[in-house]
Amino acid sequence: MSDPSIVEEDGSRGMRSGSVAGASTGSAAAAAPQERQQDRLILQLSFKPSQFPRYKYLTPTYFEKHTGVAAVYTSTPEDVEVIKTWPGGNGITSDKVPTEISYITPPGATGVQANKWGFQFKPEEERLRCIKLFLDRNQKLPHFVSPLETAAQLRKYNKNVVDAVSDYLTAIYKHTMDTLGRRYGDSFMASTKVEFVLTVPAVWSDAAKNATLQAAERAGMGNRHDLRLISEPEAAAVYTLKAIQPNHLKVGDNFIVCDAGGGTVDLISYKITQISPLRVEESAVGTGGLCGSAFLNYRFEDHVKSRVGASVYNAMKPRTRMMGLKYWDEYVKRNFNDEDQELPVPFPGLVDNEEAGVEGGFLVLTREHVRDIFEPIIKEVVELVEGQVETIKRRGGAIAGIVLVGGFGQSNYLYNRLKSHFNAAPPPYSERPTNHSIVEVMQPVYAWTAVVRGAVLRGLEGSMVVSRRSRWHYGTSYATVFDEEKHPISDRYWSPLWERWMVSDRMQWHIAKDEKVSERKAVSFHYTRNFRPGQSLIVEDDLIACDMDVAPDSMKKGLINVCTLTTDLNAVPKSLFTRLTTSKGIEFDNLDFTLDMTIDSASLIFELKVDGVPYGKVVAKFH
């Protein structure tokens, strides 16, 4: 018989062979140089989550997240076009559009259709926000997000989260194609291949990334296998590192990209491995937190309520509130640079209150007031960046720079705080090393749209990242021969096919957390399966992930079932199966095979192989 460290006789369990599968070269690495591709139009969609206001009358425009779209034609790669006009924008241009949608049921109709999206809402109108956050059930929601309210709205229109995301992306897709049709002409668009690149948060689960692909496919953006995902900070890194390339890059340098947006702050670090063409490797696992600029808006709101009183604030007319929040968002927050000056914020009609600092319809903010609003958010961002810095230093790396991108990344105050923290000279007679190096903090041009610009470059030129760091341990469970020195006797069971005592639910970890992985190499999961005559050759296995520093050697609580892999072995030639017979004359067929997993920027790809020969894709159902 073949190695008995594998399979349950009914073929229903995933088991691995006695030897651990290593890395095998994937098809991408082995591909021959291709002929010049037909010119094509590459579209990037940076799809950001919106967020629920806590209070009924908050003006959503100043608490939301946005979606951006950029386009580039491969024959003119220097001409990156960001879409700036949107329905409901009243002729005002904007690089991004609010990620919001509402539904309407026409009188007498049973179907539900999308009604409004983006800029088309009045402040008081109900709409779905924050939908993208619900694609990843593993991520902690902000305290002001109401899962119950979101679920109630979805039930009202018989929709689920993927439905709503898909409907929003459908609106984006139609507007994008209409806009580009006017730009390039309908005949050009009809004859040109269009490719979509979507960006997702770096810390998202594999299931959330898969749900994004599913929604984009439903929206008409193409077959899921043709759609490309890239993490948001990686897309920003593509743009920013190319922007600073000529003068500041050298092999061995580490750059930390801090993508500070409205809701989240995502970080990723890269080490330069080659200058021309530019190639990098991930030097620290990506991290992130809920400390974007929208939280400053909520803190400002709380600050106003504490000054004038909750009852007075709640009694304000919606337009009064809107004007104050808008002024804070567009002028005070964005331009605050710690100067010692008073900043009057308009709240028309607000009664004078000398003690509260209200006079003539203005609430006066001092430098100390604004500092207090910013402080906890800035502290969280600094701690996230510090975590990346310390990880790189522990590995002996040198940090050449911190690159700030995203809407919040344009903040002068955030820039100066990071600069003062990481550029500060060590105090005299301190225990810090004398070779203390200054870490430069940079704000590139187009910081808000760095993600969309970088993603179209990624689609145009391919990946510049030669290796990444795994954010999880990845493994599979298996059955093996019972060993009384390793296994509890209560776990053993008798296998009539192998005619031995076995134990199941042992874990084989194929990729370790923080391990370097490359999309040019596939990691192979090696299985052995037994099949009785006439038994189905369609088998299922679960891919398990673990976020612990040390992964367990058996199935335990806390492990995450990433997806169920369905493999159809009917395409494998029968000559590759081995016929075996037990001592009692029971015949069964045995097959050794591998499932190859490739990890790229934001997705997992699986392929079935027997003796190194591919026999088709593997269907992954994410949980």
Residue 123 domain-assigned (yes or no): yes
Q: Is the pLDDT of residue 52 over 60?
A: no
One domain, residues 251 and 389: yes
- Cα separations in angstroms, 281 against 254, 269, 270, 307, 582: 9, 8, 5, 49, 51
Q: Is the pLDDT of residue 136 over 70?
A: yes
Residue 452 domain-assigned (yes or no): no
Q: Cis peptide before 376, with omega less than 30 degrees from 0?
A: no
Average pLDDT over residues 248-268: 88
Q: What is the pLDDT of residue 58?
A: 27
One domain, residues 47 and 154: yes
Residues 231 and 286: beta-carbon distance below 8 Å: yes
One domain, residues 93 and 212: yes
Q: What is the pLDDT of residue 555?
A: 92
- What percentage of the chain reaches a pLDDT higher than 70? 84
One domain, residues 218 and 264: no
Three-state SS string across 385-433, please?
Answer: HHHHHHHHHHCCCEEEEEEEECCHHHCHHHHHHHHHHHHCCCCCCCCCC
- What percentage of the chain reaches a pLDDT higher than 90? 46
Residues 71, 76: Cα–Cα separation, whole Å: 11
Predicted TM-score (pTM) of this structure? 0.77
One domain, residues 222 and 268: no
Residue type, 315: A
Residue 552 C-alpha from the chain's centroid: 26
Q: Is the pLDDT of residue 27 over 50?
A: no
Q: What is the pLDDT of residue 573?
A: 95
Residues 3, 510: Cα–Cα separation, whole Å: 19
* Between residues 303 and 109, the one the model is more confident about: 303
| Buried b or exposed e, range 380-397, using 16+ CB within 10 angstroms | bbbebbebbbebbeeeeb
Q: What is the pLDDT of residue 246?
A: 59
Average pLDDT over residues 308-328: 92
One domain, residues 288 and 344: yes
Which residue, 82, 166, 157, 150, is CA-closest to 117?
Answer: 166
Residues 133, 116: Cα–Cα separation, whole Å: 20
Q: What is the pLDDT of residue 91?
A: 80
Q: What is the pLDDT of residue 47?
A: 62
One domain, residues 222 and 286: no
Residue 454 domain-assigned (yes or no): no
One domain, residues 481 and 356: no
Residues 486, 483: Cα–Cα separation, whole Å: 5
Residues 601 and 619: beta-carbon distance below 8 Å: no
Tally the C-alpha atoms within 13 A of residue 518's C-alpha that lie toward its C-beta.
Answer: 15
Q: What is the pLDDT of residue 258?
A: 93
* Between residues 612 and 74, the one the model is more confident about: 612
One domain, residues 421 and 477: no
Q: Give per-residue pLDDT as tens, 564-608.
A: 999 999 999 999 999 999 999 999 999 999 999 987 766 788 999
Residue 9 domain-assigned (yes or no): no
Contacts of 463 by beta carbon, 8 Å cutoff, 6+ apart? 519, 600, 601
Q: Is the pLDDT of residue 62 over 90?
A: no
Question: DSSP 3-state assignment of 33?
Answer: coil
Residue type, 104: I
One domain, residues 58 and 136: yes
Count each helix (H run) and each strand (E run) in the chain, helices first. 14, 30
Residues 251, 275: Cα–Cα separation, whole Å: 7
Q: Give per-residue pLDDT as tens, 363-416.
A: 999 999 999 999 999 999 999 999 999 999 999 998 999 999 888 999 999 999
Q: What share of the chain is helix, strand, coil (3-state, %, to 5)?
A: 30, 30, 40
Residue 16 domain-assigned (yes or no): no
Residues 235 and 185: beta-carbon distance below 8 Å: no
Domain interval for residue 103: 40-191+204-232
Residue 13 domain-assigned (yes or no): no
Kind plus residue range of the DSSP H or E element containing 129: none
Q: Is the pLDDT of residue 39 over 80?
A: no
One domain, residues 390 and 494: no
* The pair of three-digit structure tokens given for residue 439, joined into one six-digit string: 């870490």
CATH of the domain at 386: 3.30.420.40
Q: Give per-residue pLDDT as tens, 171-207.
A: 999 999 999 999 889 898 888 888 888 888 777 788 8
Instruction: Identify the DSSP state of 184.
Output: H
CA torsion 52-57-62-65 (nearest 10°) is 20
Q: What is the DSSP string of 284-319?
A: EEEEEES-STHHHHHHHHHHHHHHH-HHHHHHS-HH
Residues 132 and 161: beta-carbon distance below 8 Å: no
Residue type, 402: I
Q: Average pLDDT of the chain?
A: 82
| Helix ranges restricted to H, 24-127 | 27-30
| Buried b or exposed e, range 333-356, using 16+ CB within 10 angstroms | beebeeeeeebbbbbeebeeeeeb
Residues 470, 467: Cα–Cα separation, whole Å: 10
* Between residues 468 and 76, the one the model is more confident about: 468
Residues 572, 219: Cα–Cα separation, whole Å: 35
Question: DSSP 3-state assignment of 619?
Answer: strand
Residue 6 domain-assigned (yes or no): no
Contacts of 92 by beta carbon, 8 Å cutoff, 6+ apart? none
How many domains in the chain? 3
Average pLDDT over residues 407-428: 84
Average pLDDT over residues 303-329: 93
* The pair of three-digit structure tokens given for residue 38, joined into one six-digit string: 């037909």
Residue 469 C-alpha from the chain's centroid: 14
One domain, residues 208 and 264: no
Place of tokens 């995450």: 560
pLDDT band at 114 (very low <50, low <70, confident <90, very high): low
Average pLDDT over residues 413-424: 91
Residue 309 domain-assigned (yes or no): yes
Give the number of other CB atoms < 10 A from CB of residue 129: 24
Angle between helices 294-308 and 318-327 (to 10 degrees): 120
